[in-house]
Amino acid sequence: MDETYDEAGAKRRELENLLGQLGDFETLREVGVIGEGELVERRARSRAFSRAIAFIDAGENVTDERVASLLAEAREVAALPTEVEALRADVSDSQDALAELGVLADENDVTLGDVLDAVAELGAIVEAKQ
C-alpha cells in the first residue's frame, strides 16, 4: 500500500510539474510568443494533466499510458474553438452581414432600418410556416 501511495504521489508531482511548465499559454498567445498550434497543444496538455491529477486524487491508478490516452482525447477537444472564440466569430459574422446590408441599402436607396424590418418580416414568415 505504501509503495502504491508513493507511486501515486510521485506521478502527481510529475504531472503538477508538467502542468506548471505550460505557463500562462493564453497570454503567451495573445502577445505573440506562441502560435495557434502551440496554444492548442498547451490547452490539451493542461486538460489532460489536470484530469490525470483528479483521477489520482480520487484514488485511481494513473499510468503513462492513461495519461497518453487522456492527452489524445484532450487534443481533439482543444482543437475546437473555445466558447469565447465562437462568440467572437459570431459577432464578426454579424458585423459583416450588417455591413453588407448597409451597402445594399445604400445601393437601393433604402435605409438600413427598412432592410432590417424586411429581414424580420421574412423571419416571421419562415417561422410561421414551420
How distant, in Å, are the alpha carbons of 19, 78, 94 from that of 29? 17, 14, 25
Residues 16 and 49 placed together within one structural domain of the fold: yes
Q: Using CA atoms, how far apart are residues 130 and 127, in angstroms rounded to an integer?
A: 5
12-19: long-range pairs with CB below 8 Å, 24+:
12/53, 12/56, 12/57, 15/49, 15/52, 15/53, 15/56, 15/62, 15/67, 16/49, 16/53, 18/45, 18/49, 19/45, 19/46, 19/49, 19/50, 19/53
Residues 9 and 73 placed together within one structural domain of the fold: yes
Flag the least confident range among 6-15, 39-48, 95-104. 95-104
Domain with 91, as residue range(s), is 85-129
* 60-115 pLDDT per residue, tens: 999 999 999 999 999 998 888 778 777 887 777 777 777 777 777 677 777 777 77
pLDDT number for residue 5: 64
128, three cell numbers:
410561421
**Which of 64, 80, 96 finishes a domain?**
80
pLDDT number for residue 119: 78
Per-residue pLDDT at 26 exceeds 50:
yes
Predicted model pTM: 0.59
Counting the structural domains of the chain, the total is: 2
25, three cell numbers:
499559454
Confidence of residue 47 (pLDDT cuts 50, 70, 90): very high
pLDDT number for residue 103: 74
Mean of all residue pLDDT scores within the chain: 85
Residues 105 and 67 placed together within one structural domain of the fold: no
Residues 6 and 70 placed together within one structural domain of the fold: yes
Residues 15 and 75 placed together within one structural domain of the fold: yes
The contacts of residue 103 (CB under 8 Å, 6+ apart) are: none
Per-residue pLDDT at 59 exceeds 70:
yes
Residues 70 and 121 placed together within one structural domain of the fold: no
Residues 42 and 57 placed together within one structural domain of the fold: yes
Radius of gyration of the chain (CA): 25
Residues 12 and 73 placed together within one structural domain of the fold: yes
